[in-house]
Structure 1
């Protein structure tokens, strides 16, 4: 079949890769000049199966109320006159029960473990290089309450097969000596040795290059306007390229436009409960090799992740529900710098931080849409939130199976909208 993939971020590009591996003719369309230039550009850089506790959990509503008027809050809700935002927020609250949290953890761990194995197989097959580090991910906690709250989700993840070990401060520093300056502050930690890190943009662009060599066509600098459809079938996708309108026709279509998937889907009368969660990152040069970390880190209390990208340090996190604006909030940028400099004062040139922000496509449950839509030839692979790279290869491989009429190898509830 000829299949059009809408979106050239990490999810769209990996979808193209796995579809062409199944023998399909694939065309990828994106408004940017190359792949990986939006949410995949400067994200946290983790392949993090262990980061599976959803934002929606029993403790979330009270925390959000406390953070409501803090400009530097880890999770910030900026109320707007936007029905989509309020629908998302109300649905988020319905997910904040213990039962729903456990159900969503199960979904994300299962997809995450499958996806990590698919990424590792892809790397071995193609010898990809993207500043990857395979030393695991260490979650550390400087607040005893936050550490205690992490124990039950950790137990659930372990029961599902994610080897997330509970460790003390001494063991944490043994695994990552870069945490020595705050050893006395660490209330506890967890370590997942099989998790990884790297540069998601380099990965995305490297896979895109492999796709092109395999015959995948990329149409960049092309705006996606909408669809032609008849009944329950998509007839074509309407595009704008260099001021010229055109219609691209194919046998099937995959929607992988991140936060903008919901906007385009509404033109078909299809409701995707996806809302942009603006995340921030800083990238700084390494200052002191001995002081800088090598194991990827997660600071759950502040909702930050730390990845070592060669001679650079990437720190990313926080979430701001404030519509589709990508304007940098200086207070939030500086909050990341302050926390990171406090953790590892000599690791990087914190005064040289390069700031970035991107729109993560978040669902209220943190579980993505992967599978069929109610249109016979329109498929979904979107809404991955903070785990886009973590889940990309798994959701792409599973979707390729679904398109081909095969049952995916992962235990996951696939979309059937």
Structure 2
């Protein structure tokens, strides 16, 4: 079987790996010059199994209004004249209730837990290095209100068998010793012990090299113009340089850009780009640097240790397909690293980045068979693409190859959107 995978980010490359492992002849197309150069390039570095939750949750609309008035706010909304944006936002608001939240979270956890379980096998099989650590995520609370509010999260974590520890100030410092110098700035934390960390792009590059050694063909610099459909099936992918590229089956893993080629063929998905920012800086003092991931609950900023670097990521900006990195875009993430880990990294040498997260209004990615016979989907992971990559890649590959996936696809497919 010949399979064409559209997209060479972490989702597309993991899918290609499992397809090739299953015996398929695989071609991967991407408009960039190499793998992992868009959303996978400089994300937070979190493998957030314990923090897998939809953004659409009870109370979020009110919180979002408050965030808009914060000096260093985690959310920006630019009121574009875009029916697509407003329709997506309305759908998200309709999911901000208890019943929808529990349904959507259960679907998301199904994927992330599966990814957590299969990723160690992939690492063992390939031996790839990606600055990985297994020291959990510390959700840091600056106020007693945040600490008390975490009780609901603790109940949900227990319900889904996600291990955690509730820590006081001393407990937080025990797992992140550098916090001793700023202990007055937080009251406690919730540590998610099963979470891991690692450089998503380093992983994607290494896995792409492994795939190439397995016979996977990567065609870079290939912008996709359209998907050609004939008699209810994909007949080929039209590219700007190579023309039509054909296969027996096709997987769309184009993230935020998927709707641009899917909508014209009647596969309409409410996947919308939500812009995020990060900075990466070198460690200059080991004793003042983080050891794993710390999530600042107030600013919704993640600080992650990646080898001899620190990645600081956050902010959600709804601004269409803009990739502009303005002069003050990373002010919030820079403030948080300086506030919690002063002297740990060299902020003057920080490299800024921005990327578009492919978000669905219910938080759950769109996986599996589409309404077009031989077209499969692996998109819409939002901020959790790195977390869910191995699980969704393996499950979708199994489906393409005619094997029974090890997870239930109920509620994960485009059927829930009529697509």
1:296 aligned to 275, 293, 297, which one?
293
Q: CA deviation at 1:297?
A: 1.5
What SS is found at the alignment partner of 2:329? helix
Partner of 1:223: 223
Partner of 2:412: 414
What 5-or-longer segments of structure 1 have no aligned partner? none
Q: CA deviation at 1:187?
A: 2.6
Question: When the two structures are aligned, how many residues end up with a matched partner?
Answer: 414
- Pick which of 61-70 and 167-176 moved more: 61-70
Cα displacement string for residues 318-337 of structure 1 (whole angstroms, at most 9, x for unaligned residues): 11010001111333311211
8 A contact 2:227–2:262 mirrored in 1: no
What SS is found at the alignment partner of 2:288? coil
Cα displacement string for residues 9-48 of structure 1 (whole angstroms, at most 9, x for unaligned residues): 0000000001111111110000011100011011101111
The 1-side partners of 2:353 and 2:369 are apart by 33
8 A contact 1:72–1:331 mirrored in 2: no
Closer, same or farther in 2 for the Cα pair 1:144/1:329, shift >3 Å?
Answer: farther
What SS is found at the alignment partner of 2:92? helix
The 1-side partners of 2:188 and 2:95 are apart by 27
8 A contact 2:142–2:297 mirrored in 1: no
What SS is found at the alignment partner of 1:264? helix
The 2-side partners of 1:107 and 1:95 are apart by 14
RMSD: 1.5
Partner of 1:334: 331
What SS is found at the alignment partner of 1:267? helix
8 A contact 1:49–1:109 mirrored in 2: yes
Partner of 1:77: 77
Partner of 1:233: 233
The 2-side partners of 1:169 and 1:352 are apart by 30
1:317-332 equivalences under 5 Å are: 317-332=314-329
1:369 aligned to 366, 371, 388, which one?
366
The 2-side partners of 1:195 and 1:78 are apart by 33
The 2-side partners of 1:384 and 1:211 are apart by 22
Partner of 1:67: 67
Cα displacement string for residues 324-363 of structure 1 (whole angstroms, at most 9, x for unaligned residues): 0111133331121112101111211122221100001011
- Pick which of 403-412 and 4-13 moved more: 403-412
8 A contact 1:169–1:187 mirrored in 2: yes
Partner of 1:157: 157
Q: CA deviation at 1:404?
A: 2.5
Q: CA deviation at 1:72?
A: 4.0
The 2-side partners of 1:126 and 1:357 are apart by 30
8 A contact 1:72–1:332 mirrored in 2: no
TM-score computed with the length of structure 1 as normaliser: 0.96
What SS is found at the alignment partner of 1:135? coil
Partner of 2:402: 405
Partner of 2:35: 35
The 1-side partners of 2:71 and 2:206 are apart by 37
Partner of 2:52: 52
The 1-side partners of 2:52 and 2:148 are apart by 16
Q: CA deviation at 1:259?
A: 0.3
Cα displacement string for residues 98-156 of structure 1 (whole angstroms, at most 9, x for unaligned residues): 11112222222221111022111111111110111111111111133233333212321
Partner of 2:193: 193
What SS is found at the alignment partner of 2:403? coil
8 A contact 1:64–1:77 mirrored in 2: no
Q: CA deviation at 1:69?
A: 5.5
- Pick which of 269-278 and 134-143 moved more: 134-143
Partner of 1:140: 140
1:355 aligned to 352, 355, 369, which one?
352
Q: CA deviation at 1:275?
A: 0.7
TM-score computed with the length of structure 2 as normaliser: 0.95
Cα displacement string for residues 287-322 of structure 1 (whole angstroms, at most 9, x for unaligned residues): 211111112221222111111111111011111010
Partner of 1:123: 123
- Pick which of 207-216 and 290-299 moved more: 290-299
Partner of 1:184: 184
8 A contact 2:57–2:101 mirrored in 1: yes
The 2-side partners of 1:224 and 1:69 are apart by 40
What 5-or-longer segments of structure 2 have no aligned partner? none
What SS is found at the alignment partner of 1:139? strand
Closer, same or farther in 2 for the Cα pair 1:207/1:53, shift >3 Å?
Answer: same
1:265 aligns with 2:266: no
Closer, same or farther in 2 for the Cα pair 1:168/1:53, shift >3 Å?
Answer: farther
Partner of 2:103: 103
What SS is found at the alignment partner of 1:191? strand
Q: CA deviation at 1:83?
A: 1.1
8 A contact 2:364–2:412 mirrored in 1: no
Partner of 2:88: 88
